[in-house]
Amino acid sequence: MTDNGLGRIGIWTFAFDGRPAARVRDAAAEIEELGYGTLWFGEGFGRDSVSQSWLLLSATRRMTVAAGIANIALRDPITMAAAERAINEAYPGRYVLGLGGHRVSDGPIEMDGYSIPSKGKAVASMSAYLAAMDAIPLGSAASPYPPRRVLAALGPKMLALAAERTLGAHPYFVPVEHTARAREAMGPDALLAVEQAVVLDTDVSRAREVAREHVGFYAGGAPHQVASLRRLGFGEDEIAQVGPRLVDAIVAYGDMGAIEQRVRAHFDAGADHVCLQVLTARPGEMPLAEWRELAAL
Protein backbone atom coordinates (compact mmCIF):
# COMPACT_ATOMS: atom_id res chain seq x y z
CA MET A 1 0.00 0.00 0.00
CA THR A 2 1.22 3.48 -0.84
CA ASP A 3 -0.07 7.03 -0.71
CA ASN A 4 1.91 8.31 -3.75
CA GLY A 5 2.17 11.77 -2.21
CA LEU A 6 -1.55 12.13 -1.48
CA GLY A 7 -1.23 11.80 2.28
CA ARG A 8 -3.67 9.72 4.29
CA ILE A 9 -6.60 12.15 4.55
CA GLY A 10 -7.89 14.58 1.94
CA ILE A 11 -10.89 16.78 1.22
CA TRP A 12 -13.32 16.11 -1.65
CA THR A 13 -15.72 18.90 -2.59
CA PHE A 14 -18.17 20.41 -5.05
CA ALA A 15 -18.38 23.50 -2.84
CA PHE A 16 -16.10 25.64 -5.01
CA ASP A 17 -18.55 25.75 -7.91
CA GLY A 18 -20.45 29.01 -7.95
CA ARG A 19 -18.00 30.71 -5.57
CA PRO A 20 -15.83 33.68 -6.61
CA ALA A 21 -12.25 32.76 -7.44
CA ALA A 22 -10.88 34.84 -4.55
CA ARG A 23 -12.95 32.88 -2.02
CA VAL A 24 -11.90 29.60 -3.58
CA ARG A 25 -8.23 30.58 -3.32
CA ASP A 26 -8.63 31.51 0.34
CA ALA A 27 -10.41 28.25 1.14
CA ALA A 28 -7.83 26.14 -0.68
CA ALA A 29 -4.98 27.87 1.14
CA GLU A 30 -6.68 27.22 4.48
CA ILE A 31 -7.29 23.55 3.64
CA GLU A 32 -3.57 23.23 2.94
CA GLU A 33 -2.64 24.92 6.22
CA LEU A 34 -4.99 22.58 8.09
CA GLY A 35 -2.72 19.73 7.01
CA TYR A 36 -4.79 17.80 4.49
CA GLY A 37 -2.68 15.91 1.98
CA THR A 38 -4.85 16.31 -1.11
CA LEU A 39 -7.70 18.50 -2.29
CA TRP A 40 -10.12 16.71 -4.64
CA PHE A 41 -12.87 18.43 -6.57
CA GLY A 42 -15.74 17.27 -8.72
CA GLU A 43 -16.68 18.49 -12.18
CA GLY A 44 -20.24 19.44 -13.04
CA PHE A 45 -21.59 22.64 -14.54
CA GLY A 46 -19.23 24.93 -12.62
CA ARG A 47 -15.60 25.51 -13.55
CA ASP A 48 -14.26 22.84 -15.84
CA SER A 49 -11.67 20.43 -14.45
CA VAL A 50 -8.65 22.06 -16.08
CA SER A 51 -9.39 25.64 -15.00
CA GLN A 52 -10.31 24.52 -11.49
CA SER A 53 -6.99 22.65 -11.23
CA TRP A 54 -5.03 25.76 -12.20
CA LEU A 55 -6.96 27.88 -9.70
CA LEU A 56 -6.40 25.53 -6.77
CA LEU A 57 -2.76 24.85 -7.54
CA SER A 58 -2.03 28.56 -7.85
CA ALA A 59 -3.56 29.14 -4.41
CA THR A 60 -1.49 26.49 -2.64
CA ARG A 61 2.20 25.73 -2.28
CA ARG A 62 2.72 22.03 -1.54
CA MET A 63 -0.63 20.22 -1.30
CA THR A 64 -1.63 17.81 -4.05
CA VAL A 65 -4.65 18.83 -6.14
CA ALA A 66 -6.66 16.01 -7.72
CA ALA A 67 -9.37 16.08 -10.34
CA GLY A 68 -12.09 13.73 -9.18
CA ILE A 69 -12.98 13.39 -12.00
CA ALA A 70 -12.36 14.92 -15.44
CA ASN A 71 -15.02 13.47 -17.73
CA ILE A 72 -13.63 11.85 -20.88
CA ALA A 73 -16.92 12.46 -22.71
CA LEU A 74 -16.27 16.20 -22.62
CA ARG A 75 -12.69 16.39 -23.96
CA ASP A 76 -10.74 15.03 -26.88
CA PRO A 77 -7.70 13.02 -25.68
CA ILE A 78 -5.26 15.55 -27.19
CA THR A 79 -6.89 18.37 -25.19
CA MET A 80 -6.68 16.37 -21.97
CA ALA A 81 -3.11 15.21 -22.59
CA ALA A 82 -1.89 18.72 -23.42
CA ALA A 83 -3.56 20.17 -20.32
CA GLU A 84 -2.18 17.40 -18.11
CA ARG A 85 1.36 18.05 -19.33
CA ALA A 86 1.06 21.82 -18.92
CA ILE A 87 -0.25 21.55 -15.35
CA ASN A 88 2.38 18.96 -14.46
CA GLU A 89 5.15 21.17 -15.83
CA ALA A 90 3.90 24.27 -13.98
CA TYR A 91 3.26 22.44 -10.68
CA PRO A 92 5.57 19.43 -10.75
CA GLY A 93 4.55 16.53 -8.59
CA ARG A 94 1.39 18.18 -7.24
CA TYR A 95 -1.31 17.17 -9.72
CA VAL A 96 -3.34 13.98 -10.02
CA LEU A 97 -5.63 13.58 -13.00
CA GLY A 98 -8.70 11.51 -12.22
CA LEU A 99 -10.45 10.27 -15.35
CA GLY A 100 -13.95 8.91 -15.52
CA GLY A 101 -16.88 8.26 -17.75
CA HIS A 102 -19.85 8.10 -15.44
CA ARG A 103 -21.97 9.71 -18.16
CA VAL A 104 -20.63 7.35 -20.80
CA SER A 105 -23.33 4.99 -22.16
CA ASP A 106 -24.77 3.55 -25.34
CA GLY A 107 -26.50 6.85 -26.04
CA PRO A 108 -26.55 10.49 -24.91
CA ILE A 109 -27.42 11.22 -21.28
CA GLU A 110 -29.68 14.11 -20.40
CA MET A 111 -28.49 16.14 -17.41
CA ASP A 112 -30.29 19.31 -16.35
CA GLY A 113 -31.63 19.65 -19.86
CA TYR A 114 -28.22 19.26 -21.49
CA SER A 115 -27.28 16.26 -23.62
CA ILE A 116 -23.93 14.73 -22.64
CA PRO A 117 -22.35 12.97 -25.66
CA SER A 118 -21.83 9.24 -25.57
CA LYS A 119 -18.46 7.50 -25.77
CA GLY A 120 -19.74 3.92 -25.91
CA LYS A 121 -18.92 1.09 -23.50
CA ALA A 122 -17.18 2.42 -20.41
CA VAL A 123 -14.14 0.12 -20.06
CA ALA A 124 -13.38 -0.05 -23.78
CA SER A 125 -13.80 3.71 -24.12
CA MET A 126 -11.51 4.41 -21.16
CA SER A 127 -8.85 2.02 -22.44
CA ALA A 128 -8.89 3.65 -25.87
CA TYR A 129 -8.83 7.13 -24.32
CA LEU A 130 -5.73 6.31 -22.23
CA ALA A 131 -4.00 4.84 -25.27
CA ALA A 132 -4.79 7.95 -27.30
CA MET A 133 -3.42 10.24 -24.57
CA ASP A 134 -0.18 8.27 -24.46
CA ALA A 135 0.21 8.27 -28.26
CA ILE A 136 -0.14 12.03 -28.81
CA PRO A 137 3.23 13.62 -29.80
CA LEU A 138 3.17 16.61 -27.45
CA GLY A 139 5.71 19.34 -28.11
CA SER A 140 5.37 21.32 -24.89
CA ALA A 141 7.86 21.26 -22.03
CA ALA A 142 7.62 18.18 -19.83
CA SER A 143 7.77 17.93 -16.05
CA PRO A 144 10.55 15.90 -14.42
CA TYR A 145 7.72 14.06 -12.67
CA PRO A 146 5.70 11.53 -14.68
CA PRO A 147 1.98 12.18 -15.01
CA ARG A 148 -0.18 10.69 -12.26
CA ARG A 149 -3.58 9.34 -13.23
CA VAL A 150 -6.34 7.44 -11.47
CA LEU A 151 -9.63 6.10 -12.74
CA ALA A 152 -13.09 6.56 -11.28
CA ALA A 153 -13.50 2.80 -11.01
CA LEU A 154 -16.36 0.86 -9.41
CA GLY A 155 -16.81 -2.45 -11.21
CA PRO A 156 -14.21 -5.23 -11.41
CA LYS A 157 -13.26 -4.59 -15.04
CA MET A 158 -12.63 -0.87 -14.52
CA LEU A 159 -10.73 -1.60 -11.30
CA ALA A 160 -8.52 -4.02 -13.21
CA LEU A 161 -7.91 -1.41 -15.90
CA ALA A 162 -7.04 1.17 -13.24
CA ALA A 163 -4.47 -1.14 -11.68
CA GLU A 164 -2.96 -2.05 -15.05
CA ARG A 165 -2.84 1.34 -16.77
CA THR A 166 -2.77 4.03 -14.05
CA LEU A 167 -1.71 4.58 -10.46
CA GLY A 168 -4.99 3.09 -9.30
CA ALA A 169 -8.61 3.87 -8.52
CA HIS A 170 -10.70 6.68 -7.06
CA PRO A 171 -14.02 5.06 -6.10
CA TYR A 172 -16.86 7.46 -5.28
CA PHE A 173 -20.09 6.75 -3.37
CA VAL A 174 -18.94 3.42 -1.96
CA PRO A 175 -19.20 1.58 1.37
CA VAL A 176 -16.31 -0.08 3.19
CA GLU A 177 -17.21 -3.42 1.61
CA HIS A 178 -16.40 -1.97 -1.81
CA THR A 179 -12.99 -0.86 -0.55
CA ALA A 180 -12.19 -4.44 0.46
CA ARG A 181 -13.37 -5.75 -2.93
CA ALA A 182 -11.41 -3.10 -4.80
CA ARG A 183 -8.20 -3.92 -2.95
CA GLU A 184 -8.64 -7.60 -3.72
CA ALA A 185 -9.35 -6.87 -7.40
CA MET A 186 -6.39 -4.51 -7.89
CA GLY A 187 -3.77 -6.26 -5.80
CA PRO A 188 -1.54 -4.76 -3.12
CA ASP A 189 0.37 -2.18 -5.15
CA ALA A 190 -2.26 -0.06 -6.92
CA LEU A 191 -3.35 3.19 -5.28
CA LEU A 192 -6.80 3.11 -3.71
CA ALA A 193 -8.09 6.62 -2.95
CA VAL A 194 -11.63 6.37 -1.61
CA GLU A 195 -14.20 9.17 -1.34
CA GLN A 196 -16.25 9.09 1.88
CA ALA A 197 -19.27 11.33 2.42
CA VAL A 198 -19.65 12.58 6.00
CA VAL A 199 -22.12 14.64 8.01
CA LEU A 200 -20.45 16.05 11.10
CA ASP A 201 -23.47 16.82 13.26
CA THR A 202 -24.31 15.54 16.74
CA ASP A 203 -28.03 15.95 15.97
CA VAL A 204 -28.30 12.43 14.58
CA SER A 205 -31.80 12.84 13.14
CA ARG A 206 -30.76 15.93 11.19
CA ALA A 207 -27.52 14.31 10.10
CA ARG A 208 -29.35 11.21 8.87
CA GLU A 209 -31.74 13.33 6.80
CA VAL A 210 -28.85 15.16 5.14
CA ALA A 211 -27.22 11.79 4.46
CA ARG A 212 -30.42 10.34 3.03
CA GLU A 213 -30.85 13.26 0.61
CA HIS A 214 -27.30 12.75 -0.69
CA VAL A 215 -27.76 9.02 -1.17
CA GLY A 216 -31.14 9.54 -2.82
CA PHE A 217 -29.65 11.87 -5.41
CA TYR A 218 -27.30 9.18 -6.74
CA ALA A 219 -29.56 6.19 -6.13
CA GLY A 220 -32.28 7.91 -8.13
CA GLY A 221 -30.35 9.29 -11.06
CA ALA A 222 -26.95 7.66 -11.57
CA PRO A 223 -27.18 4.27 -13.35
CA HIS A 224 -23.50 3.42 -12.76
CA GLN A 225 -23.92 3.97 -9.03
CA VAL A 226 -27.10 1.89 -8.95
CA ALA A 227 -25.29 -0.93 -10.75
CA SER A 228 -22.51 -0.74 -8.16
CA LEU A 229 -25.02 -0.94 -5.31
CA ARG A 230 -26.61 -4.02 -6.86
CA ARG A 231 -23.21 -5.72 -7.09
CA LEU A 232 -22.76 -5.00 -3.39
CA GLY A 233 -26.00 -6.77 -2.53
CA PHE A 234 -28.47 -3.93 -2.08
CA GLY A 235 -31.97 -4.81 -3.27
CA GLU A 236 -34.15 -2.90 -5.71
CA ASP A 237 -36.58 -1.73 -3.01
CA GLU A 238 -33.71 -0.72 -0.75
CA ILE A 239 -32.22 1.42 -3.50
CA ALA A 240 -35.53 2.90 -4.69
CA GLN A 241 -36.66 3.76 -1.18
CA VAL A 242 -33.21 4.89 0.00
CA GLY A 243 -33.34 2.46 2.90
CA PRO A 244 -31.55 3.06 6.20
CA ARG A 245 -29.00 0.26 5.64
CA LEU A 246 -27.97 1.87 2.36
CA VAL A 247 -27.72 5.36 3.89
CA ASP A 248 -25.63 4.08 6.79
CA ALA A 249 -23.30 2.20 4.42
CA ILE A 250 -22.61 5.18 2.15
CA VAL A 251 -22.49 8.12 4.58
CA ALA A 252 -20.74 8.39 7.94
CA TYR A 253 -22.67 10.74 10.18
CA GLY A 254 -22.68 11.91 13.77
CA ASP A 255 -19.76 13.07 15.91
CA MET A 256 -16.02 12.91 15.27
CA GLY A 257 -15.87 9.43 16.74
CA ALA A 258 -18.28 8.11 14.11
CA ILE A 259 -16.32 9.73 11.29
CA GLU A 260 -13.00 8.43 12.59
CA GLN A 261 -14.39 4.92 12.92
CA ARG A 262 -15.49 4.90 9.27
CA VAL A 263 -12.16 6.26 8.06
CA ARG A 264 -10.29 3.59 10.00
CA ALA A 265 -12.57 0.94 8.53
CA HIS A 266 -11.59 2.00 5.00
CA PHE A 267 -7.91 1.84 5.89
CA ASP A 268 -8.38 -1.58 7.48
CA ALA A 269 -10.12 -2.70 4.27
CA GLY A 270 -7.16 -1.64 2.13
CA ALA A 271 -7.51 2.05 1.29
CA ASP A 272 -4.33 4.12 0.95
CA HIS A 273 -6.10 7.46 1.08
CA VAL A 274 -9.56 8.62 2.19
CA CYS A 275 -10.95 11.94 0.98
CA LEU A 276 -13.85 13.34 2.97
CA GLN A 277 -16.82 15.00 1.27
CA VAL A 278 -18.60 17.11 3.89
CA LEU A 279 -22.38 17.26 3.58
CA THR A 280 -24.34 19.81 5.60
CA ALA A 281 -27.82 21.20 6.03
CA ARG A 282 -26.38 24.43 4.58
CA PRO A 283 -25.82 23.49 0.92
CA GLY A 284 -25.24 27.11 -0.10
CA GLU A 285 -22.16 27.50 2.10
CA MET A 286 -18.63 26.18 2.02
CA PRO A 287 -18.26 23.87 5.05
CA LEU A 288 -15.25 25.67 6.51
CA ALA A 289 -16.15 24.88 10.12
CA GLU A 290 -16.38 21.17 9.38
CA TRP A 291 -13.13 21.14 7.40
CA ARG A 292 -11.41 22.76 10.37
CA GLU A 293 -12.84 20.25 12.84
CA LEU A 294 -12.10 17.23 10.69
CA ALA A 295 -8.47 18.27 10.35
CA ALA A 296 -7.95 16.59 13.75
CA LEU A 297 -8.06 13.29 11.86
pLDDT tens figures, 189-212:
999 999 999 999 999 999 999 999
Q: What is the mean pLDDT of residues 114-133?
A: 84
Amino acid 284: pLDDT: 80
On the CB side of 136, CA atoms within 13 Å amount to 18
pLDDT over 60 (residue 225):
yes
pLDDT over 60 (residue 222):
yes
Partners of 251 in the β-ladder: 197
| Range of weakest confidence among 60-74, 75-89, 111-125 | 111-125
Amino acid 119: pLDDT: 63
Q: What is the mean pLDDT of residues 265-286?
A: 96
Strands, DSSP E only, in 91-220? 95-100, 109-111, 114-116, 149-151, 168-169, 191-200
Sorting pLDDT into bands at 50, 70 and 90, what band is 104?
very low
Q: Residue 140 carries which DSSP code?
A: S
Q: pLDDT exceeding 90 applies to what percent of the chain?
A: 84
Task: List pLDDT tens digits, range 148-158.
Answer: 999 999 999 99
Non-local CB neighbours of 251 within 8 Å, separated by 6+ positions = 197, 198, 199, 211, 214, 215, 279
What is the chain's Cα-based Rg?
A: 18
Amino acid 221: pLDDT: 81
22, 220, 246 from 216: Cα distances, Å = 32, 6, 10
Residue 1 or 128, more confident: 128
Residue 17 or 105, more confident: 17
The rounded mean pLDDT for the chain is: 93
Amino acid at 204: V
Amino acid 112: pLDDT: 63
Residue 200 phi/psi, 5-degree rounding, is -90, 90
pLDDT over 80 (residue 102):
no
Q: What is the mean pLDDT of residues 237-248?
A: 98
pLDDT over 70 (residue 177):
yes
Nearest by Cα to 120 from 134, 103, 133: 103
Distance between CA atoms of residues 227 and 224, nearest Å: 5
Q: What is the mean pLDDT of residues 255-282?
A: 98
Please give the domain boundaries of the chain with CATH numbers for all domains: 9-195+270-294 (3.20.20.30)
For residues 115 and 108, the answer to whether their CB atoms sit within 8 Å is yes
Sorting pLDDT into bands at 50, 70 and 90, what band is 283?
confident
Task: List pLDDT tens digits, range 58-76.
Answer: 999 999 999 999 999 889 9
pLDDT over 70 (residue 136):
yes
Amino acid 219: pLDDT: 95
CA torsion 157-159-164-169 (nearest 10°) is 160
pLDDT over 60 (residue 2):
no
Nearest by Cα to 99 from 82, 81, 114: 81
pLDDT over 90 (residue 135):
yes
Partners of 64 in the β-ladder: 38
pLDDT over 70 (residue 253):
yes
For residues 167 and 150, the answer to whether their CB atoms sit within 8 Å is yes
User: Could you tell me how far CA 275 lies from the centroid of its own chain?
Assistant: 8
Q: Are strands 114-116 and 109-111 parallel, antiparallel or unpaired?
A: antiparallel
Sorting pLDDT into bands at 50, 70 and 90, what band is 118?
low
